[in-house]
Structure formats: structure tokens, C-alpha cells
Structure 1
Amino acid sequence: MVEQVVVIGAGVYGAAVAAELARRGARVKVVDSGVPADGTSGATFAWTNSNGKQPRAYHDLNVAGMEAHRRLAHEVQGSDWYHEGGNLEWGGDDAEREQLRRKVDSVLACGYQARWLTRAEVLRIEPDLNPAELPADGIAYFPSEGWIEPARLIGHLLSTVDGERIWHDAVTGIDVSGGRVRSVRLASGRQLSADAVVNCAGPRAAEVAVLAGLELPMNNTRGVLIYTSPVAVSVARVVHAPRVHLRPDGGGRLLLHTHEVDDAADDGNGTVDQAAVEKVVEAGCALYPGIRGASVESVRVGERPIPSDGLPVLGRAPGLPNFHFAVSHSGVTLSLHAGARVAAEVMGEDWSAELAPFRFERL
């Protein structure tokens, strides 16, 4: 019988798994080498979507994740960390427009919400956009997508866990005998007995897996996010323009990103080339002229946890049945639903039909 569970990592996955385990009656200890949300979950675009995600099983998992966020926001009074404003996207050249057309056709075939808007229609819902930056038509709108404030979601989830929370204490060892995990050792010297362990360590998940004698191949990447000072600009949704991606970030701030600026992060010290930051900000100002005059409050570099084939790693490990994974890219979208499925397996339920494409052994 599973009674004591150690959850390693206090990001969105760790918080979601811990909350579901606690709801099911487990005694939970959540362990993190830092504090909640100070890793990847504190430096993420946090876009909830299943926009062009393949294969179909992965698409469906993301759709279920989006619904889980919608459901939780409806159930919890004051849950204003969830924002379902939709997502606008358009291409800058013929190749990008054709790629977008194929993506829209693909998601529509799956029953996913998407439609085409004209410039005039977009300006009715995003009036502060610069019309000169918009094509006359061919703008894709995905109305069920949105974004969340991860730190606030994590705070809510952990508030529901009546268990021990251990911060600033890294996992340094996992004791295995008889084909099962028996305990987790921490840098402080503490040893935590465990009927089960869930690896929610994000970009450090491979290091945790090694402690249990498992090899988890990962292809982590960097993500650079630019946060502005508060601006008097109406931005109500996620926007993917050709030269900049942006969304609101609460308190009147905006969050800007491009894949190009990710490459401007220094591997060694976490700094980002200032010219690359200025280029992204300038693109944001061209898109929303009201941004001009805003300052850059912070630039954060996060590390995205990406298993080697790009798909999540979820559920129990073969040969070590009380060691479980909850690791993926798109962790914000997936965390509530996938985390609940992993927690259910920890407690003895069988979700093989849904989790089979995402098992550790495929790698």
C-alpha cells in the first residue's frame, strides 16, 4: 500500500502531482533544491495550447491539459492565474503562411478550434495593434488557447498539500533494494522513507534518474523571456507575430519572446546579448506602438526540459515500479492533467491506455 510519497521538484508538475496525491490520501513530501517556481516554471512563456502538436496522442494529451486548467479555474474561487484569451498568429512570408495554413488544417481535422480572421476583425479584439503590422487577411485565431501565471498556480496547488515541504535541499541519493525505491537522501543528510518517488525535476530529471540507476536521455534547450515595465496598452491574448511573440503578464506588464533570442543566451553565465534583447523589444514596439517608453524590467533565462524524442515521459519505470516520471516540454499545459494521471498510477490505478505512448521504456 502506498502511503508515503516523495515528489522531487516544486514546479508546475511537482505541485500538480503533489496536490493530486494529497487529495487521494497520500502523505506527501515535496523536495526542491531551491524554492517553488524558481526553475523552469519561473521562466516560461506559459502558453496553454495544443497548437500543431503531433502525434495525435500528444495532441489529445495537451487538449486534456487545457481542459484541466479550465476546469480548475471554474472550481476555485479567485483563480485569476488562468487567462483564456485565445492566440493570434500570422506569417511573414509565403513559406510561413503556407506552414500556418497546413497547421490550421491539421488542428481543424482533430476538432480543435481555429478560424481565419481579417485585419479588421483582429483590430476589433486587439485595438492597440498597429494596423500596418497586420496582413489584410490570413490571420489564424485559436480561441481556446491562453496563458497562466505559473507561480500563482503553483502556490495554490501547494496550499492544498498537507504534507512536508523541503526547500533548498537537493536530492543526492536514492536507495534501491529488491527492485524498489526505499528512501531518498538529501544534501542536508536527511533520509526520507518512501513507498514511491515521483521525478518532477524538470531539466534536472536525468540527474535524478541516474540516482535511481536509470538513464533518461534529454535534449534540454534554453528559453529567454523579456519582461517589460507596466504599459498602458490593451493586450488581451497571446500574439505570435513574425518577429515577436508576446502576451500580458499581469500588472500591466508584457512578456516578449522569439526563438532567435534564445540563441543569444550565454551557456556559461546566463547573460543574454543586449542587442538581441533590443531587437525583440523593437519588434514589440512596432507591433504595439504604445509599448514605446516602457523599460525592460528583467530578462530571464530558463532551461526547457525536453526528453530526447520531444514527447513527455510519464508514469512508472519498468523494473522499478515505485519510481515514476512526470517530465516534459509543454509542462504548463500538461501539468494538471498528466500530473493527475501519474499520481493516480502511484496510488495503484492503471492508466496504461492513455500513458502508453509516453512511457520511459520507449527511450
Structure 2
Amino acid sequence: MRVVVVGAGVYGAAVAAELARRGADVTVVDGGFPAGGTSGATYSWTNSSGKQPRSYHDLNVAGMKAHRRLARGVPGSDWYHEGGNLEWGGDDSERERLQRKVKTMLGYGYEARWLKREEVLRLEPDVNPAELPADEIAYFPAEGWIEPTRLIGHLLSTVDGQRMWGDAVTDIEVSGDLVHSVQLASGRRLPADAMVNCAGPQAADVAMLAGLDLPMDNKRGALIYTSPVAVSVARVVHAPRVQLRPDGAGRLLLKSFEIDDSVQVSDTGEISVEQAAVDKVVEAGCALYPGIRTGSVESVRVGERPIPADGLPVLGRVPGLPNFHFAVSHSGATLSLHAGALVAAEVMGEDHDQELAPFRFERF
């Protein structure tokens, strides 16, 4: 089976790897380069805390397990970090919301527990104790983060097929109720027995080429990368004014919802982030981990998060066009391995309707 996978982010790489494992003749195309879009500018937190409805929560839990299995099965794998996640509220409203979340997650059988300040300091000794509440600090030990570029590199290395970078999809030939070929900007035409749309923020544009209307509500998010700092941060941390995690080689990644709102796009399409918002997030990070003050901001990146209109993934085949498949969602870092494998299996003829039914395109 000749399958064209559009997009070389975490979803495209995961789908392509599973298709290749199953014997498909896979061609991966991308208008840029692997990990050059959302996957290269993502917080990449692997989790399912607070995700609703239950079917979406369960899909994310399965995604977390898939990361664990792959990392254990690949000698020398270094892209998966399961250090857990710490979270606490800054006011009564945030604390009540966190209490409800933990209660719901425990009811689902999700691993969570409450820690006191002294317990957190044993886990994160470089945290400023004054920034921690005395208790009611939620700990989700099975959560973590991935290095998407390293993961994508591994997955694509398992695909013995064509890879076409810097060559965007410009047309999709549909005849009757089937996709027959994919046209690229270079003029190349790729015959296809099936195709999978893993184009992330551009998924709606790719779908439109096949006559499909995919409603998306993409959002931009800003990430702050520090220079290497001699600060011990071993896990994902969600404090009231800043969220942060390690990013390898002594660097840290910082973000907040507030800085996302400061992303600006000029009339010419240039993307920038207000410096005052960057400074505010960095100052919050320094208050939490004082050792960050010895470093500097190395870069600020803006990624566009692909979010279907109702917030849930769009996965699997399309009614009326059964050889066109989607693998598009927010939380791609968590979901990609498991959801991508389900989509690939369906491309190859397996029935996974029980798992994919809540996430079908036709709900729109």
C-alpha cells in the first residue's frame, strides 16, 4: 500500500513509523522540515491530568504508556523524561479547582497525591521555600516531558521510504470517493492508495484541498528558553505565576498563559512577544528558583498549537472519502505514539472504531 503522510512533526513521524512497521510503502512530505513547526516549539508535557471527557483522558493515559514502552524498548533512548509534575494554586479559586481535579483523577485511577512543603523540597531542593504553600501541593508522578526533535529523529529513522522536505502539498486528486494522488509545490505527483493528514496547524488547509472543512481554533504559545544554569530542576512544575521544566544541557523552559496573550503578529506577518511579558515570566521563574538569575534568556519561540474547534483530537478515516485519514490534535506530545498507531492500523485495514469513535471527523 502506498501511503502519503503529510507533516513531519510528532504525529507524522509516529504514523509513518507504524505504517512502515506494518509494511506500507510510506512517503513523508513536509513544506518545511522535521520538527520545524509546532513540534519544535512546544512545552511537550506528557500528561492526562484534568483532561475531559473520560474518553479523552483515557486516550492520553494510553499515550503516556506508549511513550514509556517505546523508551524502554529502544537502547540509548534519551528523549523521554518521566519525572512527574508538581502543581499548586495561588488563591482560593485555584486551590479549589486543583482539589476538584485531583479528586476526579483519583476517581479515574490516575496516580496523584498531595505533598507538603518539606516533601517538595526533598524532590526539588533548589526551590525557594517561600514560594511554596505549607501543603496542598499536587504531585502527579507518572507525568513528564519529551524532547520532540529527538523522538521524531528516531521514528523517521525507522521509515525506509521517501522523505520530501521543503515541498508543500498544493493539491489532492480526488476521483469518485477516493484520493488518488498528492501534488507538491515542486510539481511532483505522488500516487496514493491512502493519505494521512498530520499537518498540525495547516491541517485545515490540507483538508480543504480534498474538499473537506475541518474547523480549527489554533492558538499561538510563547516559550522562553534560558541559557544553561546550575539549578536542579528534575520535573515539570506548575506554579501560580510560571510553568517550567528542564530542557536538556542545563537549560530550562519557562512559560505562562499570560505570555501567550502577549504574542503579536504584524501586518507583514512578523511574530513577536512583548518584552515586558517575557521579563515578568522570567522574574517569576527567578523567584521560584533563585539560581536562574545566574543565566539569561537564550531565545523566545512562538509555536502555533493545532486545536480542533471543540478541543478534541480528529483521528482516523473520513466518511465518503475512506482513504483520507486525520491525525490532528492539541496535546500531540502526549498522544502521538498511541493515537498515531491507531490511525496507521486503520489505514492498513484494522478496525479500531471503539477507540476512535469519539474523535471522528464526522462529529463536525
TM-score by length of 2: 0.99
The two structures, once aligned, show a CA RMSD in angstroms of: 0.4
The one-letter code of the counterpart of 1:170 is A
Structure 1 CA distance, aligned partners of 2:50 and 2:354?
Answer: 23
Q: How does 1:10-159 map to 2 (within 5 A)?
A: 10-159=8-157
Structure 1 CA distance, aligned partners of 2:175 and 2:325?
Answer: 16
1:333 equivalenced with 2:334 (yes/no): yes
Q: Of the candidates 165, 182, 194, which is equivalent to residue 167 of structure 1? A: 165
Structure 2 CA distance, aligned partners of 1:38 and 1:273?
Answer: 23
The one-letter code of the counterpart of 1:38 is G
Deviations 1:155-201 (A, max 9, x none): 00000000000000000000000210000000000000000000000
Unaligned 5+ segments in structure 2 are none
Q: Which residue of 1 aligns with 2:306?
A: 305
1:75 offset after TM fit, Å? 0.1
Structure 1 CA distance, aligned partners of 2:221 and 2:104?
Answer: 27
Q: How does 1:150-299 map to 2 (within 5 A)?
A: 150-268=148-266, 269-299=270-300
Deviations 1:12-52 (A, max 9, x none): 00000000000000000000000000100000000000010
Structure 1 CA distance, aligned partners of 2:320 and 2:258?
Answer: 41
Structure 1 CA distance, aligned partners of 2:331 and 2:231?
Answer: 28
1:293 offset after TM fit, Å? 2.3
Structure 2 CA distance, aligned partners of 1:359 and 1:63?
Answer: 19
Q: Which SS does the other structure have where 1:132 is aligned? A: helix
1:332 offset after TM fit, Å? 0.5
Q: Which SS does the other structure have where 1:38 is aligned? A: coil
Identity among equivalent positions (%) equals 79
1:9 offset after TM fit, Å? 0.1
Structure 1 CA distance, aligned partners of 2:147 and 2:241?
Answer: 24
1:80 offset after TM fit, Å? 1.1
Structure 1 CA distance, aligned partners of 2:184 and 2:229?
Answer: 44
The one-letter code of the counterpart of 2:19 is L
Q: Which SS does the other structure have where 2:216 is aligned? A: coil
Structure 2 CA distance, aligned partners of 1:80 and 1:142?
Answer: 21
The one-letter code of the counterpart of 1:103 is K
Deviations 1:65-87 (A, max 9, x none): 00000000000011110000000
Q: Which SS does the other structure have where 1:271 is aligned? A: strand
Structure 2 CA distance, aligned partners of 1:270 and 1:263?
Answer: 13
Unaligned 5+ segments in structure 1 are none
Structure 1 CA distance, aligned partners of 2:265 and 2:84?
Answer: 33
1:242 offset after TM fit, Å? 0.2
1:267 offset after TM fit, Å? 2.3
1:270 offset after TM fit, Å? 1.1
Q: Which SS does the other structure have where 2:304 is aligned? A: strand
Structure 1 CA distance, aligned partners of 2:354 and 2:265?
Answer: 40
Structure 1 CA distance, aligned partners of 2:20 and 2:187?
Answer: 25
Structure 2 CA distance, aligned partners of 1:286 and 1:319?
Answer: 55
What is the aligned residue count? 361
The one-letter code of the counterpart of 1:174 is I
Deviations 1:268-310 (A, max 9, x none): 3111000100000000000000000211111000000000000
Structure 1 CA distance, aligned partners of 2:105 and 2:76?
Answer: 32
Structure 1 CA distance, aligned partners of 2:198 and 2:240?
Answer: 34
The one-letter code of the counterpart of 1:299 is V
Q: Which moved more, 1:259-268 or 1:223-232?
A: 259-268
